[in-house]
């Protein structure tokens, strides 16, 4: 009873700022811009945007995987330091997040553009300028750079909590260090991998700013399209339908990822 | 028959300048059941961790079969451990926990299955194969930990209080079972326990430790009957420990009386600690005893009564099946073989007194030795030092 009472403000918040907006989105997605009558036209139109959806999923997926590959060793390293170093390194990881997201992305533009810092150096030593910006790689770089801390945080938390005695037990039972990793550390950090993956994937799939600044027209992502529906094309009904489509995709992806963890909880074995 | 397997040479362990193990010298024979016994924090787990390879001694050597293994990592040692805190894998079920080591050793799966199933039977956990570790009780977890180590049939098994979480009945069963397995499979056991009864009944050799030092090594009977100092005498069983003076070989004086004993090899007039086990004391009529005192408390313990008797201020514990009511006056007799003499040690005066001591006592009937009553002064001084 008491706990219900304590949760009341949050429930109210949820109702005001999550459920009601969702209803508004649903309303717009299924109505006509001019008449306001019910229509499936917006939803049907989503089919035109399938390639963009696919591209968004693809780039977000690649970014998440790269974040995992970079982030896991970093998190593992930090978790193994002394408490003082842990705090220091963790701060260092978090530090970029203290700066504006826009500023960070703009900084990359300044570095990568044809007349940017890197290419100035390249030109100064007499080479052709490199195509560093306005391509997929630059967008992925922007995503990885911006969202990497979201991968490291949950991984670090989970790895840090792994009981050292379990590692000793595995060694005692004959595991060399790579077997300890595969048999004990990796399976026990699976929850961290899943939440880190989710925390990178979800913002990456819906981003619009990164792709606008670092990408080309060919790397237009679903977030960009949604933004333009509200700001330039002024078709909020299609925008709402696109948002809905994005939401469904995110839900599906998160559900798939969570299956991994629940499977494991039910006694799945990671083979050595 | 006894071939030496493991030897610790002058092992010292320090954590940030705090010495927790001090010059440990110890050897363990092949197929031996050796127990490390001592109070909490005395360094038992640390000793095991050094043998298991999880700690490097600050100085000193660890030898296995005559070879120095200080730098051999745990996974390359022919040793398995039952950890004090179990350290079971939470992401695996009971079966996979027990099978872990066998799978690492790449045994064929049918062999794994055979051995795990056999082990589950031994620790009475048949039917628990698919249970998650977190759903087990402490005692069940402890038995999984035993099974997980034992199933590998190691040359040496380190057991860190492996039965601590079990109830008395299950504990006794598991004691027998472990002892049986140890003998049947010829495994060397290095066993850690707080429980002196467990140590006495299971071990070939007992190592009594305190404050990071070995106090005594010996067979259970020797440790019990011939404790080296007041600490050992008190930790292994109950003891009345008195100040005495060795007047000659096989002649000790305490309580202002001289008693014949069986110990020799002490200096003449050397101050000593005298141990008298509470179960060795014979209660007789007040006028027929060597000493005579008043019963101040009686506690029923099942097999016997714990009777505290006041011998003019110094209280003794006597364990007897005869009920002597509180307030009654009794006499006691001591046979020579019931009196055990120890050299003075840093532990003298710290143990074996069942009361606050009073230096005053009256003379009572002493059948054998009545002369020489002049040294009560010096005894008093000794005690007052503490
Ligand atoms: N990693 C460590 N750092 C600092 N001190 C330690 C460390 N490990 C053990 N100690 C200290 O070493 C001493 C011996 O510890 P140990 O665990 O060997 O005791 P124990 O005999 O096993 O006790 P118990 O019966 O309670 O398990 C203790 O005082 C403990 O605080
Ligand atoms: Mg311990």
Domain spanning B4-225, CATH class: alpha beta
What confidence tier does B354 reach under pLDDT thresholds 50, 70, 90?
A: confident
First to last CA, chain B: 47
Ligand nearest to the CA of B82: 2
Closest alpha carbon within chain B to A174: B75
CA distance A236 to chain B (A): 48
Q: pLDDT: is A7 or B63 the higher one?
A: B63
Closest alpha carbon within chain A to B157: A172
- A171 close to B (CB below 8 A): yes
- A19 close to B (CB below 8 A): no
What is the crossing angle of helices A190-206 and A136-161, to 10°? 150
CB contact under 8 A, A175 and B75: yes
pLDDT at B363 over 70: no
At B106, is the secondary structure helix, strand, or coil? coil
pLDDT at B181 over 50: yes
CB contact under 8 A, A187 and B52: no
Domain spanning A49-258, CATH class: mainly alpha
DSSP conformational letter for B8: E
DSSP string, B153-217: --SEEEEESTTTTS-HHHHHHHHHHHHHHHHHHT-EEEEEES-HHHHHHH-SEEEEEETTEEEEE
- Between the CA of B160 and the centroid of ligand 2 the distance, in Å, is 7
Average confidence (pLDDT) over B17-43:
94
Which range has highest mean pLDDT (A206-215, A217-226, B28-37, B374-383)?
B28-37
In chain A, what residues touch B148 (CB-CB under 8 Å)? 173
Average confidence (pLDDT) over A99-108:
90
Q: Is the minimum distance from the CB of B336 to ligand 1 under 6 angstroms?
A: no
CA distance A3 to chain B (A): 26
CB contact under 8 A, A184 and B105: no
Average confidence (pLDDT) over B375-384:
40
CB contact under 8 A, B96 and A166: no
A25-47 pLDDT tens trace: 999 999 998 888 999 999 999 99
Average confidence (pLDDT) over B364-376:
41
In chain A, what residues touch B91 (CB-CB under 8 Å)? 184, 187-188, 190, 264, 270
At B4, is the secondary structure helix, strand, or coil? strand
pLDDT at B371 over 80: no
- Between the CA of B91 and the centroid of ligand 1 the distance, in Å, is 28
pLDDT at residue B366, as a whole number: 41
pLDDT at residue B372, as a whole number: 42
At B21, is the secondary structure helix, strand, or coil? strand
Structure-block tokens of residue B329: 């006056």
CB contact under 8 A, B132 and A172: no
What confidence tier does B157 reach under pLDDT thresholds 50, 70, 90?
A: very high
Structure-block tokens of residue A144: 């990885």
Q: pLDDT: is B176 or B369 the higher one?
A: B176
Q: Is the minimum distance from the CB of B42 to ligand 1 under 6 angstroms?
A: yes
Nearest CA to ligand 1 atom 11: B20
A244-266 pLDDT tens trace: 999 999 999 889 888 876 554 44
CA distance A250 to A259: 14
In chain B, what residues touch A169 (CB-CB under 8 Å)? 81, 83, 87-89
What confidence tier does A130 reach under pLDDT thresholds 50, 70, 90?
A: confident
B229-278 pLDDT tens trace: 999 999 998 899 989 999 999 999 998 889 999 998 899 999 999 999 99
B82 forms bridges with which residues in the sheet?
A: B159
CB contact under 8 A, B105 and A169: no
* HSE value, Cβ hemisphere, 13 Å, CA-based, for B144: 31
Q: What is the mean pLDDT of chain A?
A: 90
A155-174 pLDDT tens trace: 999 999 999 999 999 999 99
pLDDT at B307 over 50: yes
CA distance B107 to chain A (A): 13
Average confidence (pLDDT) over B334-352:
90
Phi, psi angle pair for A230, to nearest 5°: -90, -30
Q: Is the minimum distance from the CB of B85 to ligand 1 under 6 angstroms?
A: no
pLDDT at B152 over 60: yes
Contacts (Cβ under 8 Å, ≥6 apart) of B138: B165
Q: Is the minimum distance from the CB of B43 to ligand 1 under 6 angstroms?
A: yes
CA distance A174 to chain B (A): 4
**Does ipTM exceed 0.85?**
no
Burial A51-75 (b: 16+ CB within 10 A, else e): ebbebbbebbbbbbebbbeebbebb
**Complete edge-to-edge strand list for the sheet that includes strand B282-284:** B282-284, B329-333, B291-300, B305-311, B314-320
CB contact under 8 A, A169 and B83: yes
Average confidence (pLDDT) over B173-202:
92
B131-150 pLDDT tens trace: 999 999 988 999 999 999 99
User: What CATH number has the domain spanning B239-356?
Assistant: 2.40.50.140
pLDDT at residue A1, as a whole number: 58
pLDDT at A269 over 90: no
- For B98, the enclosing helix (H) or strand (E) is helix B94-104
Structure-block tokens of residue B189: 């056991």
Q: Is the minimum distance from the CB of B45 to ligand 1 under 6 angstroms?
A: yes
pTM of the predicted model, to two decimals? 0.82
- Which of B43, B164, B191, B213, when mutated, tests ligand 1's pocket best, judged by the most ligand atoms within 8 Å of its CB? B43
Nearest CA to ligand 1 atom 17: B45
pLDDT at residue B355, as a whole number: 61
Pairing verdict, β B4-15 and B79-82: unpaired
Q: What is the mean pLDDT of chain B?
A: 88
First to last CA, chain A: 47
Domain ranges of chain B: 4-225, 239-356
Q: Is the minimum distance from the CB of B329 to ligand 1 under 6 angstroms?
A: no
């Amino acid at each position: 009873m008491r706990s219900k009472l304590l949760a009341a403000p949050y429930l109210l918040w949820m109702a005001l700022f999550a459920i009601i907006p969702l209803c508004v989105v649903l309303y717009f997605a299924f109505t006509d811009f001019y008449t306001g009558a019910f229509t499936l036209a917006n939803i049907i139109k989503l089919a035109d945007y399938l390639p963009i959806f696919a591209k968004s999923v693809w780039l977000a997926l690649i970014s998440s995987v790269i974040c995992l590959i970079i982030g896991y060793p970093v998190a593992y390293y930090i978790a193994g330091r002394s408490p003082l170093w842990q705090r220091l390194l963790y701060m260092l990881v978090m530090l970029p997040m203290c700066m504006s997201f826009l500023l960070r992305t703009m900084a990359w533009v300044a570095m990568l553009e044809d007349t940017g810092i890197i290419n100035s150096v390249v030109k100064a030593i007499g080479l052709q300028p490199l195509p560093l910006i306005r391509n997929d790689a630059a967008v992925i770089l922007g995503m990885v750079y911006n969202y990497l801390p979201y991968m490291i945080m949950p991984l670090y938390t989970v790895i840090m909590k792994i009981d050292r005695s379990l590692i000793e037990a595995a060694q005692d039972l004959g595991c060399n260090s790579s077997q300890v990793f595969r048999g004990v550390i990796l399976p026990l950090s699976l929850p961290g991998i899943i939440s880190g993956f989710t925390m990178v994937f979800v913002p990456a799939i819906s981003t619009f700013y990164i792709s606008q600044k670092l990408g080309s027209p060919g790397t237009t992502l679903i977030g960009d399209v949604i933004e333009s529906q509200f700001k330039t094309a002024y078709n909020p009904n299609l925008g709402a339908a696109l948002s809905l489509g994005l939401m469904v995709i995110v839900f599906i992806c998160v559900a798939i990822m969570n299956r991994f963890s629940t499977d494991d909880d039910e006694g799945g074995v990671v083979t050595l | 028959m006894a071939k030496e397997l493991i030897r610790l040479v002058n092992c010292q362990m320090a954590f940030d300048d705090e010495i927790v193990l001090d010059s440990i010298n110890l050897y363990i024979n092949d197929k031996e059941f050796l127990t490390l016994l001592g109070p909490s924090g005395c360094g038992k787990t640390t000793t095991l961790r050094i043998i298991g390879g999880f700690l490097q001694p600050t100085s000193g050597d660890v030898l296995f079969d005559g070879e120095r293994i200080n730098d051999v990592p745990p996974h390359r040692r022919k040793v398995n451990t039952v950890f004090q805190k179990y350290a079971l894998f939470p992401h695996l079920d009971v079966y996979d926990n027990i099978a872990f080591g066998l799978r690492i050793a790449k045994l064929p799966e049918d062999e794994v299955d055979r051995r795990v199933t056999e082990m589950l039977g031994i620790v009475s956990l048949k039917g628990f194969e698919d249970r998650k570790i977190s759903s087990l009780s402490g005692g069940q977890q402890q038995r999984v930990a035993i099974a997980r180590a034992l199933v590998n049939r190691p040359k040496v098994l380190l057991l860190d209080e492996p039965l601590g979480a079990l109830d008395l009945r299950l504990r006794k069963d598991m004691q027998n079972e472990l002892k049986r397995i140890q003998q049947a499979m010829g495994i060397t056991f290095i066993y850690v326990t707080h429980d002196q009864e467990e140590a006495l009944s299971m071990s070939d050799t007992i190592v009594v430790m305190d404050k990071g030092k070995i106090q005594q090594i010996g067979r259970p009977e020797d440790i019990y009957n011939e404790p080296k100092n007041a600490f050992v005498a008190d930790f292994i069983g109950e003891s009345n420990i008195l100040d005495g003076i060795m007047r000659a070989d096989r002649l000790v004086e305490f309580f202002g009386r001289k008693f014949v004993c069986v110990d020799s090899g002490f200096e003449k007039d050397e101050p000593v600690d005298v141990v008298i086990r509470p179960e060795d004391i014979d209660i007789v009529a007040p006028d027929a005893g060597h000493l005579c005192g008043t019963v101040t408390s009686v506690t029923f313990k099942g097999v016997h009564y714990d009777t505290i008797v006041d011998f003019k201020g110094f209280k003794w514990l006597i364990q007897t099946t005869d009920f002597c009511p509180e307030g009654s006056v009794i006499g006691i007799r001591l046979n020579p073989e019931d009196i055990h003499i120890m050299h003075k040690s840093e532990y003298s005066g710290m143990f074996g007194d069942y009361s606050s001591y009073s230096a005053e006592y009256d003379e009572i009937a002493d059948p054998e030795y009545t002369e020489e009553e002049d040294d009560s002064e010096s005894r008093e001084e000794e005690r007052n030092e503490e």
